[in-house]
Amino acid sequence: MKLAIVGCGSRHAMFSGSVTHDYPDKHEIVAVCDNNPHRLSLAAQAASREGTNGVAAYDAADFDTMIAEQKPDTVVVTTPDFLHASYIVRAFEAGCDVICEKPMTIDLASLKQITDAQKRTGRQVRVTFNYRYSPARTQVKDIIASGQIGEVTAVDFRWHLDRVHGADYFRRWHRQKENSGGLLVHKSTHHFDLLNWWLGAVPSQVTASGRRAFYRPETALDMGLTHRGPRCATCEVASRCDFELNLAEDAQLHALYREAEHEDGYYRDLCVFDEDIGIEDTMQAHIRYGSGATVNYTLTAYSPWEGLEIKFQGTKGDLTHKHVEVHGVFGGERAHAGKDAVWTELHIAGQAPQQIDVPTAEGHHGGADPVMLGYIFDPDNMEPDQYNRASDHVAGGWSILTGIAANMSIDTGNTVDIPTMLKARGITLS
């Protein structure tokens, strides 16, 4: 493939690094594109090969020119979420396929733009749901598909974001729903995609509640953080705040953002307790699936630990899976869990509970990233994917529809019927 990357923030590095270092003999990055000249320059340098003239760099305003001049086969989209649809559609129209960071998009209007463009052009988008490729998550898929617990009737799914990772969504562009769709779209798209994939079904109805309970000015006052500044770098009480982000202490963040501020005025270290934050930090949803299964889902962004807990209730027994990624946060420091902090328990009716050995692998996201990137960039040398883990516009669409419906339910107080919602917008996912 000849690839062009649009969006040169931290998320693009996984794709750029994989092509440049792991698969340089198979693929080529022909161009990078961003609206920040500093980050654009860093990305071009990182993607350039020795002995070449380097990688072409284009301002975001010149995206269409980049496609016309460089003629990539595939466009990698790693921009802020609200821009995904525009670049996907323009890439389709120019004859390119797309690899897109999750979520595919954030609202119904842009979802319709993508699905309509896909039908017109026949081009394909691959949404990079890396959690599907984790050995532990794949094991859950295996057990459910084997029928050992029978028909899945009910699921309890809790995802915990700790006070470092969770807080970070409240200091970046994600903090406004018009940019990210809120955490029920931006973050939960991973979790709803896993549910759809595990159950082999799609959601039909959602009832949800949510509020900003922790990342509020009142919490800062309770902590004695008066006279707060708008960002950590200029805040007179930052040294007493466990939520301080000191960009100078992280070389990558400092290079990508602190040194780039003068170009576009984007601050990476805004105060997590600002009044004008527009997303929730505490969310619950009750989801009905077309298969008849129901799911109770909870996401919190200020937990003392990070990870997931899930229980599948079936007609023959139940399956419990838990992964502790971070044991706790102490004064802003994260205590990472070891490899043994993942466990799966299978309990068949009439039998004793059985602890199942959980497979592990090296790499980010529980060993998922190298596997996913292998299937994207070197599929001929990978085992045939019996789990159908590659995600197209259909899977990408269904993964955000639960979150979109949940946001609507929070706003209205009503249950949202997804088929009715799609019909009203003229959206067909197939």
User: With bands split at pLDDT 50, 70 and 90, how would you rate the model's confidence at 47?
Assistant: very high
Which DSSP string do the residues of 327-375 spell out, in sequence order? EEEETTEEEE--TT-EEEEEEETTS--EEEPPP--SSHHHHHHHHHHHH
Residue 81 CB burial class (10 angstroms; 0-12, 13-18, ≥19): buried
For domain 132-214+278-360+391-425, the question of CATH label 3.30.70.270 is answered with no
Mind listing the pLDDT tens digit for each residue in 21-32?
A: 999 999 999 999
For residue 36, what pLDDT is reported? 97
> What band does 111 get if pLDDT is binned at 50, 70 and 90?
very high
Q: What is the pLDDT of residue 51?
A: 67
Residue of 421, 385, 417, 410 whose CA lies nearest to 126 = 385
When mean pLDDT is compared across 118-127, 159-168, 353-362, the lowest value belongs to 353-362
What mean pLDDT do residues 60-73 have?
A: 98
Q: What is the pLDDT of residues 360-393, one digit of tens each?
A: 878 887 788 999 999 999 999 999 999 999 999 9
Mean pLDDT value across the chain: 95
Q: Is the pLDDT score of 352 beyond 90?
A: yes
pLDDT at residue 340 greater than cutoff 80 = no
Q: Is it the case that residue 420 has pLDDT exceeding 90?
A: yes
Find the mean pLDDT for residues 202-221.
Answer: 98
* Residue 429 Cα to chain centre, angstroms: 21
CATH code for 2-130?
3.40.50.720
For residue 86, CA distances in Å to 47, 71, 94 come to 24, 18, 12
Return the DSSP state at 248.
Answer: G
Q: Which band of pLDDT confidence, cut at 50, 70 and 90, is reported for residue 53? A: confident
Is this prediction's pTM over 0.85? yes
List, in sequence order, every residue forming a beta bridge with 31; answer none if it has no partner: 4, 56
DSSP code at position 104: S
- How confident is the model over 35-51, as a mean pLDDT? 92
Q: Where are the domains of the chain?
A: 2-130, 132-214+278-360+391-425, 227-276
Using one digit for the tens of pLDDT, what is the confidence trace for 237-287? 999 999 999 999 999 999 999 999 999 999 999 999 999 999 999 999 999
Handedness of CA 117, 121, 122, 125 (dihedral sign): negative
End-to-end Cα distance, the chain: 26
CA distance 239 to 345: 43
Section 341-345 average pLDDT:
95
Residue 152 predicted with pLDDT over 90? yes
Q: What is the pLDDT of residue 360?
A: 83
> What is the reported pLDDT for 146?
97
Outline where DSSP puts E strands in 252-332: 282-289, 294-303, 306-314, 317-330
Look at residue 336 in the predicted model and tell me its pLDDT: 86
Query: How much is the average pLDDT of 403-407?
Result: 98
DSSP 37-100: HHHHHHHHHHHPPTTS---EEEEGGGHHHHHHHH--SEEEE-S-GGGHHHHHHHHHHTT-EEEE
